[in-house]
Amino acid sequence: MFADRARIIIKSGRGGDGHVSFRREKYVPNGGPDGGDGGKGGDVIFEVDPGVNTLADYRHRRKFAATPGEEGKKKNCHGKNGEDIILKVPEGTVVYDAESKKVICDLSGDTKRVVVLEGGRGGLGNQHFATSKMQAPKYAKPGGDAIEIEVILELKVIADVGLVGFPNVGKSTFLSRVTNANPKIANYHFTTLNPNLGVVDLDSSNSFVIADIPGLIEGASEGVGLGYEFLRHIERTKVIVHIIDGASVEGRDPIEDINAINKEMQQYDENLLSKPQVIVANKMDVCPEKEEEILEKIKNNINLDKVNVLGMSAVSGKGVKEVLWHIKSLLDSCDNEIITYEKEFDPMDLVDKEEPFTIEIDKEGRFVVEGPKIEKMLSYTNLESEKGFLFFQKFIKEQKIDERLEEMGIEEGDTVKMYGLLFEYYK
C-alpha cells in the first residue's frame, strides 16, 4: 500500500560521561588525574534516497534512536562516539514537529540530508578540572542529554503538473497515453489509490513530470473519502490540469464538477487556485458533433479568469498533443524553482533551556545540587583555601541556592552533595 504520511518518535544519543580516575603506576604513587572524556552521542539524520518513493518503512515501526556515547576511560582514553541513525526518505518529504505542527525540514530541491537532532556532547574527564590549587579533582562533567521528540513525516510529491478531477473521468487513461507510467485503469471509483507519476517527452528538449492525484469527491477537504489524503500532493505542482467528463458519460454535470473540485482545493489551501490551471474536457469522441457547443457552454459558466477549456479524447488521442503543448506553455510562464517549505522549528532549541540549577534528595537523604554554573565554578575554585571557600559561600547566596534548599526543608547538619563533593549545611 502507498504510504505518504507517518508519525514516529526520534531520539538522539546521550553523550558519554567524563571519567574520574588517577594515575596509579609503580613509581608514581601520587599521579595526577587521567580521566578521559566521554564520547559524543549519535545524531538523527534524515536523508533522501532516490530508490525510495513511499514512507512505508515508517508505518510499522514507531521509534528510531541513535546510540549513546561511551563513558571516558582511564589513562586519558576518550569514550567511543555513538553511532548516527540515518533515516532514508523519498524526495519531497516534509518533517514536522508533532506537537507544534511546525516545519523542521523539507527534503526537496538541494536539501538532500539534514541533521534533525544532534547527539549530546561528551562530558569532560577530571583531567580538565585540575588547577595549581586543586590538583586532584574528584569530579567529571556528565555527558549531554539525549533529545526525544515526536515528528510527522509527510510526502508531498514533486511534480510540475497535477491532474485533478472526479473519479473515472479519464485521468489515468490520459497519464498512460502521454507518459511512461502504467496506472491501473478500470471502470470503478477510486481505482487510483496512489499518486502516479509520469514523464511527458514532447521532443528532445521539452519534458515535464505529471502526477495523477487520486479522484476527489465533495467534502474531501474536510476529510471525507480518500481524496483528502492526496490533496497535499497538489501543493508543490506548478500547473493544475482539471480533467472532466465533457460528454457526461456517467450522467455528471461537468460544470458542477469543476466548481465542486475547485471549492475543495480552495478549502484545503486557497493558494491552490492562484496556480495556472487548464480545464480539459475528456471523452469528446463520444459526441464529436457537439464538442464546440460543450466547450463554449463550459467557458461561459465557470467563474475562473484566464483559464482555457480544451477538448480531447484520452482513448483515441484526438486533441491530446494540443493539451500537452498548452500545459508546456503554462509551465514556461512559471519560475523553475521547486516549491519548498521554510524551516519553522529547530528541535535543538530545546537544548540548554534547563534551570540554572537543580536540587534533588537522594535515597540517603542528601541534597544533591547540580547545574552548569555550579559545575563551572567548582572547576576553578580551590575549596581547600580560606579565600576559595569564602568565594564558594558567596556564590551559593548569589545564586539563591541556599534559599531553595531551605524551601525544600534542609536543616543544619544535613549533607549537601555537589559533583562528588560533600558539605554539611549550616546557616
DSSP of 247-309: T-TTS--HHHHHHHHHHHHHHH-GGGGGS-EEEEEE-GGGSGGGHHHHHHHHHHT---TT-EE
- Whether the pLDDT of residue 368 is over 80: the answer is yes
Enter the C-alpha cell of residue 218.
465533495
State which of 87-91, 126-130, 217-221, 354-358 shows the largest mean pLDDT.
87-91
Mean pLDDT along residues 354-373: 81
Find, among 385, 359, 363, 383, the residue nearest to 371 by Cα.
Answer: 359
pLDDT for position 338: 75
Residue 191: exposed, middle, or buried by beta-carbon count in 10 A (0-12, 13-18, 19+)? Answer: middle
d(CA 122, CA 36): 10
Q: What is the pTM of this model?
A: 0.66
Which three-class secondary structure state does DSSP give residue 176? helix
Q: If you ran DSSP here, which 8-state letter would residue 318 be given?
A: T
Place of cell 511527458: 200
Enter the C-alpha cell of residue 117.
537532532
Phi, psi of 282 (to 5 degrees): -90, 170
pLDDT for position 215: 55
pLDDT for position 1: 39
State which of 260-264, 339-343, 386-390, 415-419 shows the largest mean pLDDT.
415-419
pLDDT for position 192: 43
At CA 332, angle to CA 331 and CA 336, rounded to 5? 80
CA atoms within 13 A on the CB side of 150: 8
Residue 423 C-alpha from the chain's centroid? 47
d(CA 361, CA 346): 34
pLDDT for position 189: 43
CB contact at 8 A, 384 and 134? yes
CB contact at 8 A, 208 and 328? yes
Find, among 265, 260, 315, the residue nearest to 286 by Cα.
Answer: 315
The fraction of the chain above a pLDDT of 90, given in percent, is: 26
Q: How many CB atoms lie within 10 A of CB 397?
A: 10
Which three-class secondary structure state does DSSP give residue 87? strand
pLDDT for position 219: 53
Find, among 208, 204, 165, the residue nearest to 314 by Cα.
Answer: 165
Mean pLDDT along residues 247-251: 80
Find, among 213, 268, 185, 176, the residue nearest to 4 by Cα.
Answer: 213
Residues in the chain, total: 427
pLDDT for position 68: 96
pLDDT for position 218: 54
Mean pLDDT along residues 77-101: 93
- Whether the pLDDT of residue 347 is over 70: the answer is yes
| Kind plus residue range of the DSSP H or E element containing 99 | none
- Whether the pLDDT of residue 365 is over 70: the answer is yes
- Whether the pLDDT of residue 384 is over 50: the answer is yes
Per-residue model confidence as pLDDT tens digits over 159-218:
889 888 887 788 888 888 887 655 444 444 444 455 677 788 887 678 888 888 775 555
CB contact at 8 A, 94 and 41? no
Which three-class secondary structure state does DSSP give residue 337? coil
Residue 86 C-alpha from the chain's centroid? 13
d(CA 249, CA 261): 18
- Ramachandran quadrant class, 75 (left: phi over 0; alpha: psi -120 to 50; beta: rest): left
What does pLDDT average to over the chain?
A: 82
Start-to-end Cα distance in the chain: 69
Which residue did the predictor score with more confidence, 269 or 161?
A: 161
Enter the C-alpha cell of residue 311.
477538448
| Kind plus residue range of the DSSP H or E element containing 161 | strand 161-164
pLDDT for position 222: 53
